[in-house]
Amino acid sequence: MSYTNQTGQTSATNTNTITAFFDSRSDADNAVERLIDAGLPRSSIQLIEGATAEAVSGSRTEESGFWAALENFFFPDDDRSTYAEGLRRGGYLVTVTGYPLDMHDTALDILDDEGSIDLDERTRAWESEGWSRSGSITSSRSTQFENNATGYQAEQLNSEHDDVIPVVEEELRVGKRDINNGRVRVRSYVTEMPVSENISLRDENVEITRRPVDRPVSATDSAFIDRTIEAEEHHEEAVVSKDARVVEEIGLRITAEQREETITDTIRKTDVEIEDDRESGMVRKDGTSGIQRD
């Protein structure tokens, strides 16, 4: 799964986009329903259905059709060709756009839970079969060029007005997308373990002793007086108490850093060459200074 978002936004914008690819229509439908139940508007969710197994032909017209279905999304050409190939092979693309940024993690978890495929891994499998991103891009652009050329010829043949050649230049647009690099989850739970501790306890016991005596009565014997003597037994027992103490704290913190990356690509433009026989066979090339002679 891949997704793009405009950082720093808290409201819905067209630049907040998540895309997820599914092999199963039921998985894709379940993901859409859960996204709606989570509070995302139905208008921000789109399901693009690929070709059926019987319809997969690999024709240029079919591939161009999948590219056209993706033209409203700001994808790099590499990603667009990958999505088009997945649709051609019968996959299902779910896109969520214009959502509040605080719903990003919720939407991402739902798409993960519903079985979205790892498109990078799937792309490597396609490439091992001989498929090429660059070949797909070239084929789609070639098809588009052929269609445009055909339309221009029809206009040239049927039009009675002045013929024109549009001068077109491509502009390179570089965006950003957030890549899920894994998740860290900390969970606490309670365990019990037996412990033991030795303690010394004191026992006091009362013993009754009788011993035979044969001596005269003395003044200290208090003879013929009622008397009572008593003693108490005491025993020590263990008293257990527990003190809970915090011994460690574990937390999660997200840190961010900026890095610069140079994006290298090619852009196209239309060069125009004008031949004017009225000027002694002189040839002028648009975009150059002066006139070049044959």
pLDDT reading at 157 higher than 50: no
Mean pLDDT of 184-208: 90
Confidence at residue 198, expressed as pLDDT on a 0 to 100 scale = 92
- What percent of the chain shows pLDDT beyond 90? 11
Residues 6 or more apart whose CB falls under 8 angstroms from that of 293 comprise 281, 282, 283
Q: How confident is the model at residue 105 (pLDDT cuts 50, 70, 90)?
A: confident
Distance of CA 106 to the CA centre of its chain: 10
Whether the CB-CB separation of 101 and 5 falls below 8 Å is answered with yes
> What's the burial of 22, exposed, middle or buried (CB within 10 Å: 0-12/13-18/19+)?
buried
Confidence at residue 83, expressed as pLDDT on a 0 to 100 scale = 82
Which of 170, 167, 171, 162 lies closest to 286, judged by CA?
167
Confidence at residue 97, expressed as pLDDT on a 0 to 100 scale = 83
Confidence at residue 72, expressed as pLDDT on a 0 to 100 scale = 61
Q: 15-29, 165-179, 182-196 — which one is most confidently predicted on average?
A: 182-196
Mean pLDDT of 247-272: 89
Residue scoring higher pLDDT (55 or 40): 40
Give the predicted TM-score (pTM) of the model: 0.41
Residues 6 or more apart whose CB falls under 8 angstroms from that of 223 comprise 217
- Backbone φ, ψ for residue 293 (5° rounding): -95, 145
Mean pLDDT of 44-72: 58
Confidence at residue 120, expressed as pLDDT on a 0 to 100 scale = 84
Q: How confident is the model at residue 212 (pLDDT cuts 50, 70, 90)?
A: very high
Which of 117, 126, 97 lies closest to 35, judged by CA?
97
